[in-house]
Each structure stands twice: as structure tokens, then as C-alpha cells.
Amino acid sequence: MFERFTREARDVVVLAQEVAREVGARSVDARHVLLCLVESRGPARNGLESVGIAVAAFAERLRNEVAQGGLDAGALASVGIDLDAVRARADAVFGEGALDQAGGRRRSGHLPFSPDAKKVLELALREAIRLHVNRIDSAMLLLGVLRSTGSPAESVLRSALAECGSSVADLRTALEKPAAEAS
């Protein structure tokens, strides 16, 4: 399958591994891939911009989320846990950045892909086949994220689309149009 990836799409996958390593993740998940798609220069980013997503702000939001290891302050607050207070207390007791570093030694070597990241790659291939294109570029990867219903990456993307007054259908159209013209 990777032989069908464009250079740009391969770079996204490699960068996703680097991001996962930087934050001490045990595997590359679909949010790491999404972050690298947003930060890339290519069809995925163009599609996001065309539907009104402020990519710099979205990238910062994603970077913060992956840096926290997926800790969702809102979800924790709903069960009475103040993440900022926990972070401040951990910093006071164990030193600056202790919560971020807990269990997250910087890893070297190959990191495995989580099931949701593998699914995004598989769905990107399916999108390319559906659109009759012979390559998988960043647009196909982002379409894979859109099809990974219920994954954390798809949820955060769907939320960003709603916040800017756009929809999954709008983004899908923006990503599919250039692919159709190229084939």
C-alpha cells in the first residue's frame, strides 16, 4: 500500500511518528496523523482552509491535545477533576512538567500504529480506489480521517468543522474535487 503514497503523504506519516515520539506516546494514533496533515503544505491543508478552518489555530489545538496525551480537561471536569489543578499540584510536588513527563520517556526507534491510525491508512486507500486515483496523497489521508467514524481524530475534526460553520460534506467536496480533476 505504501508504494501508492505520494512523497508528501509519506512525510506526513513519518512526521506523525516523530510527533508521537516527542510527546512520549506508546504508538502513533490518528490524532498524530491529523496534526501532521494540518501542518503540512498540500491538498489536505488546502481543503481545510477552503472550508474556513483556521489551520494555525487548529494545529495549535491539536498539538495541545496530543501533548496532554489525550487528557480531556472537559471530560475530567464532568467527573469533578480539575486538570489544571492536578497539573499545578504535580508540578509543585514533583517539579515543572511532571504530569507531562509521567510514564512518557522519549522513545526511539519504530513506534507501532494504533488501531485507529491503521484504520485511517486503510480508509485512505479505500478513498483512492473509490475516486479512481492511483496515488494516496494528504487529501486521501484526510478523507480517511473523515471516514474513521467515532475515532478521536474524526471527532476533533468534526468539531472544528462545526465551529467554523462548515460540515463534513463541505470538506469532502473540497478534497474530492481536485482528485477527480487529476484522474
pLDDT of 97: 62
**The pLDDT of residue 71:** 55
Task: Look at residue 78 in the predicted model and tell me its pLDDT.
Answer: 65
Residue 139 has pLDDT above 90, yes or no: yes
Distance CA 132, CA 134 (A): 7
Check pLDDT > 80 for residue 22. yes
Question: Distance between CA atoms of 84 and 77, rounded to whole angstroms?
Answer: 10
- Confidence class for position 176, pLDDT limits 50, 70, 90: very high
CA 7 vs CA 3, 48, 112: distances in Å = 10, 20, 21
Of the listed ranges 15-24, 49-58, 86-95, 141-150, the one predicted with least confidence: 86-95
140 within 8 A of 10, measured Cβ to Cβ: no
For the domain made up of 2-70+113-182, the CATH class stated in words is mainly alpha
The pLDDT of residue 95 is 75
Per-residue model confidence as pLDDT tens digits over 38-75: 999 899 999 999 999 999 999 999 998 888 765 555 55
Cα(101)–Cα(15) distance, integer angstroms: 21
Domain chopping of the chain, boundaries: 2-70+113-182
| CA dist 93 → 62, 103, 104, 122, 131 (Å) | 28, 16, 18, 44, 55
Does pLDDT of 2 surpass 80? Answer: no
Average pLDDT value over all residues in the chain: 86
